[in-house]
Structure 1
Amino acid sequence: MTEQSALLLRKQLAELNKNPVEGFSAGVIDDEDMYKWEVVIIGPQDTLFEGGFFKAYLTFPFDYPLRPPKMKFITEIWHPNVAKNGDVCVSILHEPGEDKFGYEKPEERWLPIHTVETIMISVISMLADPNSDSPANVDAAKEWREDPNGEFKRKVARCVRKSQEMAFD
């Protein structure tokens, strides 16, 4: 299976290089390893994250696309759906099948038709529109619900500034 998944990832990478998608860039960290990618998400316009450069790793399982990759921000980001350690919690990256907690429909979860592009588009829209129903960062979710223009906005602005400084390191 490894061969097939590596070929598929190589194909998706070539496609993204040929037709870049607005809002993010993606590439492998090491040409020898198709299973670890680095992505940079540009904070979506008209959101608190605008102007930020948020770096993350995508780690693909060897049985991709049957199972989803894991995504982890390395740039600090304050968001209800990103755990404090950087792990991204978005339905499209959840294992396929039924949600034992009943929050998500199977079709919202991972499907083998998803690509790096659909994952990234989904994560970008999550940045723009947090889901505070099943937060990965409870503190951020609470601030976002109770006072999105207060403490939450301030913390996000700090992350954006920090990400801009790091972007050129």
Structure 2
Amino acid sequence: MTSTDSSALLLSRQLKDLQKNPVDGFSAGLVGDNIYQWEIMVMGAPDTLYEGGFFKALMTFPSTYPIMPPTLKFASEMYHPNVYPDGTVCISILHPPGDDKYGYEQANERWSPVHTVETILLSVISMLSSPNDESPANIEAAKEYREDYPQFKKKVQRLVRRSADML
């Protein structure tokens, strides 16, 4: 069995598990019939700024999954310190395994093959509720989050309303 075969098998199993035992806060399905491209819907968690929002994202898996991490990119507009302006999510567990060349993250905070789609998405939901503005992907959002929280909150609430209207 090739690594591509085993990664496809693992992804199929994870998708079946999520469909059998859905997790609050997100849903996942394939883009077409490509096991390496998943469409994700993240629901803004209660008691967070993103509450009531519905945010589409695309999770793309390498053929070397689970050795290497997938990427997650919001297709819906997202304003958050840990999401690049192009929508790409920047959290430690999605960074390649091993030591961080910048010395910011420890190896145990980065990708590990024990992570699943479920653990990744639970981390994203956690990220939405508590941003890490010490290591921002979106510098403008992090600065506003720290220095003008009411304005940051207003922008996020506008996105939440827009996301709900898009459904």
> Same-fold call, TM > 0.5?
yes
- Match for residue 9 of structure 1? 11
- Match for residue 156 of structure 1? 156
User: For residues 132-163 of structure 1, what are the alpha-carbon distances to aligned partners after superposition, in whole Å with 9 as ceiling and x for unaligned?
Assistant: 11101000000101122x21001101110111
Report the Cα distance in structure 1 between the residues aligned to 2:104 and 2:51, rounded to whole angstroms: 29
Runs (4 or more) in structure 1 with deviation over 3 Å come to none
SS at match of 1:101: coil
Unpaired stretches in structure 1, ≥5 consecutive residues: none
**TM, length-normalised to structure 1:** 0.96
Task: State the Cα RMSD in Å.
Answer: 0.6
Unpaired stretches in structure 2, ≥5 consecutive residues: none
| 2:80 paired with 1:103 | no
**TM, length-normalised to structure 2:** 0.97
Matched to 1:27, the amino acid is: G
Matched to 1:128, the amino acid is: S
Report the Cα distance in structure 1 between the residues aligned to 2:95 and 2:165, rounded to whole angstroms: 32
Matched to 2:124, the amino acid is: V
Report the Cα distance in structure 2 between the residues aligned to 1:165 and 1:94, rounded to whole angstroms: 33
Report the Cα distance in structure 2 between the residues aligned to 1:83 and 1:24, rounded to whole angstroms: 20
SS at match of 1:38: strand
User: For residues 42-96 of structure 1, what are the alpha-carbon distances to aligned partners after superposition, in whole Å with 9 as ceiling and x for unaligned?
Assistant: 0011110000001100000000000000000000011000011001000010000
User: For residues 18-51 of structure 1, what are the alpha-carbon distances to aligned partners after superposition, in whole Å with 9 as ceiling and x for unaligned?
Assistant: 00011100111112x1000000110011110000
Aligned residues: 165
| 2:82 paired with 1:117 | no
